Chains A and B, each alone.
Chain A
Amino acid sequence: MLKVTDLKRHFKSGDSIVAAVDGVSLKIPDGQFVSIIGQSGSGKTSLLSLLGALDKPTSGSIEVDNQDITRVSGRELNRYRAKTVGFVFQSYNLVPNLTALENVMLPMEFLGLPKKLRLERARQLLEEVGLSADQMHRKPGKLSGGQQQRVAIARALANKPKYILADEPTGNLDSETGKLIFNLLHDLSKKEKTTIITVTHDLKIAGKTDTSFKLKDGKLAKGTDR
C-alpha cells in the first residue's frame, strides 16, 4: 500500500515560488496499474520524483507499508531506490559505456548480489523483454529507441521492485512500439504483482489502467477508480 498525504513540492524560481506539487493525497493498493495524466507543467514528473525518493518534498509524507520514505536518508535511501522502486524514463537513461547486459546488472550490484547471479538474472530479464543475445552485448548507442527502452524496463525490474515508476515511457517511441512497451509493462504487473505508476499523455493508454489520476496545477483533479 502506497499512501501519499498532503504532499507538496515548491520550487523557488527567482522571486516567485512554483508549486509543482501542491497538496496531493492519494492511496494506491499493491499490484495496481496506475496512470497519471495532466497537462504539461501540471507536476506529473515532480510527483513521480518524490515517489521514487529522487527528490525531497517541501512537506507531506509518502508511506510505503507504513514507513515514511521522505524521512529516510543515507544507506536506507539508496536501498529504497535500488530495491523498492524501479524507474523507467522517457529518455531511457542507460549508462552509455556499459552494454545492455551490464546496465541490467548494475542495480543488482548495489544490493551486493554475487556476479554469477547478476549475470544470470540480467540475461533472463533481457530475454523476457525480447532482446536477442547479440543485442545484449551492445552498448546503448547501438540499440534502437524501442530496444533501449526494453533494456531500461529490464533494469527497472532487476531487483524485483515493489513499484515501477515510469515517466512517459512511450513518449519517444512510435505508437506501434509504444503499444508493445506498454503491453510489456502491463503483463509484468499482472505476472509479478508489481505496482506500476506511469505518467502518460496517451488517454487511450490511461483508459486501460486500473486507476487514473489527473493532475492540474500540482493538485489532484479527479480520481477515477475502476
Chain B
Amino acid sequence: MNWCSRGIRNAFRNLTRTFSLIIILGLSIGLSLAMFISHQAVTQKINNVKGSVDNTISIFPAGLRGFAGGGTPLTQSQLKSVSALPHVVQLNETLSDRLTSSDTNLQSAVSAGFLGRRFAGNGFGGNVKFTPPVTVNGTTSPTDLAVSAATTGGGSFSLLSGTVFSGTSNSNVALVGTGLASKNNLKVGSTFTAYGSNISVVGIFSSGTRFGDNQVVMPLLTLQRLSGETGDVTAATAYVDSVTNLASVTNKIKAVLGSAADITNSQQQAQNAISSLQSIQTISLYSLIGAVVAGAIIILMTMVMIVRERRREIGVIKAIGSSNLRISGQFMAEAVTLTIAASVIGILIGAVAANPITNMLVSNSNSSNSSAAANPGGGVFRQRRFSGAFGGLHHSFANIHAVVGYGIIGYGLLAAIIIALIGSSVSSYFIAKIRPAEVMRVE
C-alpha cells in the first residue's frame, strides 16, 4: 500500500459518485474525441479539395469552344509563359480537329441519326447520307480527357490494352477509343491512315461515353505536324498547386494572354465547397475545445470537492508525517484513475458517435449549401456549370469518413491524463493549505 495504490483505491471509495462521474466525464471525453475525429476528417477533406478537385484554370482561344464559334488558335509559345508562372504545377494543351472521309480511312462508330443530321448543314432532318466526322485530339496529356472536354465530352481515361504514348512524342502513334476501334477492327499494332500518313495504334481506351469512345488521341506535336497547324493549341488547362492561389494565377494568365484567350476557373465552386467545409471545421474545433474544457472543469471541480470532503483525513495524514507532495500524488493517482475509467467509456462513445456526428454536420451544411446554389446564377451556361459543380460537391461530401485509429485513441488517453493532472494540481493547492492542527479539534 503506497500513495499510488491508495489513490487508485480511493477512486472507488464512493461507488455512486464514481459511477456518475465516470459517465459524465466519459460523455465529455467521448464528445471531445468525436469532435477531434470529425475535425481531422474534415481537415483532410479540405486538403483533398484544395489539392485536387477544383484547382484548374481553363484557357481557350477567344471566341472558341470545341468546334463551335471561331477565332485564332493560341500558340504553344504563348502558353510557355503561362506554364512558367509561379503556382502553376502543370499545363495540359490540346489541339482538336475532325477527320472526314477525305482525311482518313476510319469510319465513325457513331451513326448520324436525327441529331447528327442537324449538323450536316441542311437543318432538321437534312442530309440523310451524312456521317459524323471522327474527332482527333492532339494532346500533351493523353490520359487527361478533361482538357479536351469541349470537343470530346471529357470522361475518365481507362486504358483497355496497349500503352500510352509520351506527351512530348512526335511519332505517328495514336490511342483509339474502344468504339472506333471495334468499328474499324483496330487492335494494338494495327495501322490506319490520317492526313495521308500511316498511323499505328499503340493503345485502346475507354472514356465512359459513346462519343468519347469514338475519338483518336495523338501526341500534340504529331497532330500539329500532320494537320499543318504547327504550334497551335485549341484548349489548355492550367493546374494550380492550391485553390487558394487560383484567383491570383487566373489574373496573371489573363494579363499574359490578354484578349487572345477566354480564361475561366472553378474558383466560385471551390470556394463554396471549402467554405462550408471550413465552417464545419470551425464548429468541430470549437466543440472540441468546449468538450475538453468541460471535461477539465468536471475533473477539477470533483477533485476540489473531494479534497474539501477529506479535509480531516488529509490533516491526519499530514499530522503523522506525510509530505504535501505525497498526498498530492495520491490525489493525482485518484484523478488519473477516474479519468482513465471515464476515457474507456469516452472512447467507446467517441468511436460510435464520430461518424454520425461528422455526417450530420456535413449533411446540414450540405443542404444549406444547396439552397445557396439554387439561386439563379445568370445565363444557361452558368447554371449548367453550377449544377455540375454541385454534383461534384455532393460527391466529395459523401466521401467524408471519420476514421478512429489507435493513434487517435492514444492521443485522447494522453490528453485525458494531462487534463486529470492539471485538474488535480489545482487541488494540490488546497491540500497544501490544510493545517494539520485542525485535526486536534473534535468535529
Contact = CB atoms under 8 A, between A and B. Distances in A.
A75 B1 contact: no
B320 interface: yes
A54 interface: yes
A95 B321 contact: no
Nearest to B314: A95
B13 A93 contact: no
A83 interface: yes
B83 interface: no
Nearest to B436: A54
A81 B323 CA distance: 10
Contact of A82 (B1, B6, B313, B320): B320
B120 interface: no
A91 B313 CA distance: 12
Interface string B296-322: 000000000000000011001111111
Given A93-B312, A95-B313, A97-B13, A167 B440 contact: yes
Interface string A150-169: 00000100010000000100
A110 B329 CA distance: 13
Interface residues of B, number: 25
B9 interface: yes
Nearest to B321: A82
Contact of B316 (A49, A86, A93): A93
A91 B321 contact: no
B9 A109 contact: no
B437 A54 contact: yes
A185 interface: no
B442 interface: yes
B2 A109 contact: yes
A90 interface: yes
B442 A91 contact: yes
A49 B322 contact: no
A59 B361 CA distance: 68
A89 B9 contact: no
A105 interface: yes
A94 B326 CA distance: 18
Contact of A91 (B320, B435, B443): B443
A110 B316 contact: no
Given A54-B437, A89-B440, A93-B316, A98 B1 contact: yes
A89 B435 contact: no
Interface in B394-443: 435-437, 439-443
Nearest to A80: B321
Contact of A81 (B6, B10, B13, B321): B321
A223 interface: no
Contact of B313 (A52, A89, A96): A96
Interface in A99-124: 102, 105-107, 109-111, 115
A19 to B, nearest CB: 16
Nearest to B443: A91
A109 B427 CA distance: 23
B322 A78 contact: yes
A52 B316 CA distance: 12
A107 B321 contact: yes
A82 B205 CA distance: 88
Contact of B439 (A89, A111, A159): A89
Given A55-B435, A81-B319, A97-B9, A49 B440 contact: yes
A52 B442 contact: no
B437 A78 contact: no
Contacts of B1: 98, 102, 105, 109, 115
A97 to B, nearest CB: 5
Contact of A110 (B6, B13, B322): B322
Nearest to A52: B319
Contacts of A95: 313, 316-317
A87 interface: yes
A86 B321 CA distance: 9
A48 interface: yes
A81 B443 CA distance: 22
A87 B438 CA distance: 13
B440 A48 contact: yes
A45 interface: yes
Interface string A70-92: 00000100111111001101110
Given A95-B313, A97-B10, A109-B1, A54 B440 contact: yes
Contacts of B313: 95-96
A76 to B, nearest CB: 11
Nearest to A50: B437
Nearest to A93: B316
A54 B317 CA distance: 11
B9 A81 contact: no
Contacts of B320: 81-82, 86-87, 106-107, 110, 155
Nearest to B313: A95
Nearest to B441: A45
Given A54-B436, A155-B320, 10 more contacts: A49-B437, A81-B319, A91-B442, A91-B443, A93-B316, A95-B316, A96-B313, A102-B1, A110-B322, A115-B1
29 contacts: A45-B441, A48-B440, A49-B437, A52-B319, A54-B437, A55-B435, A80-B321, A81-B318, A81-B319, A81-B320, A86-B320, A89-B440, A90-B442, A91-B442, A93-B316, A93-B439, A95-B316, A95-B317, A97-B6, A97-B10, A97-B13, A98-B1, A106-B317, A107-B320, A109-B2, A110-B322, A110-B323, A115-B1, A155-B320
Instruction: Please list the 10 inter-chain residue pairs (A to B) with the smallest Cβ-Cβ separation, ordered nearest first.
Output: A82-B321, A55-B437, A81-B321, A54-B437, A49-B437, A110-B321, A54-B436, A93-B316, A107-B320, A91-B442
